Structure formats: structure tokens, C-alpha cells
Structure 1
């Protein structure tokens, strides 16, 4: 009987120690987030700010696509932001995704255990001091919840739009690079054609030197003169066309 009591006391003590340890250990979400921010290999995507009092997601699109799936098994940046909000983080600037929490600081990982997840609002029944008063309080609470939902929805929508704009900007830059390469190639082709036309225009001059001369004047037949005139016209047309095309 005494042995059973000792075993029971030991089990209760172990259970109590487990509960205490469980409460004092940081949330897995906080540990994973701290790990991402602390990793120097990802500083170009997410890192601490200059004084280590907050962290910055420099590239939200890459963060959602490459880093979130490795630890959180999803790639939804808006969902990650909502999780931060439930742990009391706040976005401290409008120009970038910088988040702060008094207990989330560089080099102070031990403070993570003090961060608590916010409890969801529960509708507690108030004492009945009159039907109208109770209905008014209920309506006010519903209005407050609706406003909070609208703000949260607006913030999520803005985050998604920002990520889409970043992706679209990168796509346009890539297309612009391809078009620039094609334009450069076309200009080189035009220069080659211009050189060919120039060489072709010089051929009649060399043929002119081979014609027979009489009293110092080169002899030309009518057909040869007509062919020469057409060649000159063709050279002029080709030169004008290529010069306009290669601008």
C-alpha cells in the first residue's frame, strides 16, 4: 500500500514538473521564426534590424516561396503575419515589413518563453440587469468584432496585393531583359546588312576601271548605262531603308 502511494506521488510530481516545463517553454512558432531571423544564410530575405530590436522581411515573395515551407509547411505570407499578430507582434513601419515584440530581440532567445498567445474573445453571459441593456452590450460587442475582422481582412488583402505586385515587377523586368537582348541582336544584323550594301555599291567602281577607253574616255553601251542607273537607285533605296530600320 505504501509502495502504491509512493508511485502515485512520484507520478503526480512528474506530471506537475511536465506541466511547469510545458508552460515555460516557448511556442514552436516563435522558435521557428527566431531560427529563420537568426540564420545568417537568409539575411537577404529576412534579418534583424540595425539594433536587433525587431526583424524585417526584406523580400516577402521569396520568404513565402522558399522559407515558409521549410518550417511551417505552407507558403502563405498573410497567414504568417496573422500568426505574428496573435503573439503580440506589431508592424512598426509602413515602408517595409518590419515586426516588433518587446520579448523578441536579437541575442535574447530566453525571452521567448514570456511571449503568450492572445486568447480568443469569448462571449460571457452578463447578469440580467434588463433586456435592453443586455441587447445593447451584445450589439456593441458584435460591432467591435466586425470592425476588427474588417481591419484584419484589409491588412491581409494589402499583403497579398503587395506580393502580387512584387512578382509582376520581377516578371516585367525579365521580359524587358529579353526584349533588350533581341533588340541588340537586330541592331547587329542591321549593321551587317549595311556593310553588305556598302560593299555591293563599290563593285561598279571596280568594273568601271576595266572598261576600254577611247581618247581618254571610257566607252559605255546603252544597256550598260541603264544597268548602272538601276543599280545606283537600288543602292540608294536599300541604304535609306536600312538606315531607318536600324535607328
Structure 2
């Protein structure tokens, strides 16, 4: 057999990996069948490289591709191509050989720089993905803790009800009374602007105006006594389920 017909072992093994449909999850042909894509570099390095090349160094695999004239054709993914590396055209693989030493000295330095840039970009992307996953995990843990506390809170409520069956009606009444008082105060502020003014802005005076009687006592000109101050009912001494009832 002519030595020119011998296919380099690296090229042949790479073709076998790319052309194996069972490995498409890791490495497969590109859309035009004139390139190949490493889909999952990490899984590819851990599973396939040791089986075919006795190592798990993805950077070393990329350097070998550069040595045999393959070029990276897509900046956003690990896609490589060679004019002699075509699907179903195994007779062309013999044309793929190592670059001459004089040609590779300058190109190797450029390829290594490009490879380092690509690896740095990939590492930065992986770090961002990891940070997003960590934040999502923190949120999931908080939601899980809240869910785990809910049965305890429900049991606490049931225990309180068992000890004092009247607790729920009283709390409902208290809540309704507080809501009614707040609504009354809001209505009074709307009807009487003086009640909503601050002490600094409002002169000290009573409403309605008072007039003096013969005995020296002041009475309201409107003929009625002012309403006594409404004091809020005391809050119930405990809250349930973390935020009251």
C-alpha cells in the first residue's frame, strides 16, 4: 500500500466518532455535512477522549485538530472543518496530514491565543450559569422552608382553637371592629379637614366654636357636647401563622 494512502490515526478516530450516530449527544456532523460539532465539551472529554485517545484533555484535542489543518468555523460553538473531512467521503481522509514545521510555528501561536480566548469565554459563561443556579437554589430553599413551617403553624392554630374554642370568633370580631374604626376615622378626616391637619399647621381651637355661659362654663354653639375620644381596642396578645389573623 502506498504511504500516501494511509490515513492518520488521529484523523481516522475523529471521523469514527463524528460518524457514529450513537454519539450525537456529544459530537456530530454539522448542518452541511462538511464540518463537525462538539456538543458537550465536558462530557466529550470525560467519556469519549479516554476511549479513543487515552486522555481527557479537550485542549489537547483542539491542538491536534489545528495541527492537522482543521479550523474553527463558528465563534459561538466548538465547530471545526477541513476541506477533506466530509461525510461519506472517507477516501479523502488520506489528504489530511500534519502541517509542516515551518507553517505551524506562527500559526500555532495564533491558534493557542484563539483557543485561550475561547476557553476564557466558555469559563465566564459557565460561571454566570453557576451564579444563576445558586440564586435559584437559594430561592427554592426559602420557599421550601416556608412550606415546611406551614404545617407547624397550622398545628399551633389548631391547638389554640382546641384550648379556647372562642378564640376565632373573638379575633374576627376584633378585626371587624378595627376595620370599622379605621373607616370612621377616614370618613371624619374627609368631612372635617381640621381633623387631618397637623398640630403645627392648625391653630389650637375647638369645633364647633364654644361660647361662655353665665356661670363661666363653655358650651358648644352647636348645642351638643364633643364626642369622647375613641381609643382603639387592645390588640389580641398573640398572633397566629406569623402575621396575625
Residues 66 and 111 in structure 2, CA contact (< 8 A), matched pair in contact too: no
CA root-mean-square deviation: 3.2
1:107 to 88, 96, 100: 88
The secondary structure found in structure 1 opposite 2:102 is coil
Unpaired runs of 5+ residues, structure 2, are 168-234
The alignment partner of 1:206 has SS state of coil
Instruction: Report what 1:195 is aligned to.
Output: 154
Work out whether 1:182 is the aligned partner of 2:141: yes
Distance 1:73 1:62 in 2: 15
- Give, in angstroms, the shift of residue 205 of structure 1: 3.7
Q: Which residue of structure 1 lines up, in the alignment, with residue 20 of structure 2?
A: 39
Higher mean C-alpha displacement, 160-169 vs 111-120? 160-169
Equivalent residue in structure 2 for 1:157, among 116, 135, 139: 116
Q: Which residue of 1 aligns with 2:237?
A: 233
* 2:87 corresponds to 1:87: no
In the alignment, the residues of structure 1 paired with residue 24 and residue 73 of structure 2 have an alpha-carbon distance, to the nearest angstrom, of 19
| Post-superposition offset of 1:161 | 2.5
1:118 and 2:77 aligned: no
- Partner SS for 2:147: helix
* Larger Rg, first or second structure (1 or 2): 2
TM-score for both structures, normalised by structure 2:
0.61
Shift of 1:159: 3.7
Q: Which deviates more from structure 2 when the two are superposed, residues 28-37 or residues 166-175?
A: 166-175
**Structure 1 portions without partners, runs of 5+:** 1-16, 123-143, 209-230
Q: What per-residue deviation string (whole Å, max 9, x for no partner) do you get for residues 37-86 of structure 1? A: 11112111110012211111111122122211111112222221121112
Cα distance change of structure 1 residues 98 and 149 upon mapping to structure 2, 3 Å threshold: closer
Q: Does the Cα contact within 8 Å between 1:47 and 1:55 map onto a contact in 2?
A: yes
Q: Does 1:73 align with 2:54?
A: yes
Contact between 1:53 and 1:106, CA under 8 Å: does it hold in 2?
A: yes
**Conserved 8 A contact 1:57-1:98:** yes
Return the alpha-carbon distance in structure 2 between the equivalents of residues 175 and 205 of structure 1: 45
Distance of 1:165 and 1:39 partners within structure 2: 31
Q: Which protein has the bigger helix share?
A: 1
| CA distance in 1 between partners of 2:46 and 2:129 (Å) | 14
Q: What number of residue pairs does the alignment pair up? A: 179
| Superposition map of 1:136-175 within 5 A | 148=107, 150-165=109-124, 168=127, 172=131, 175=134
Note the C-alpha offset of 1:30. 0.4
What is the TM-score with the length of structure 1 in the denominator? 0.61
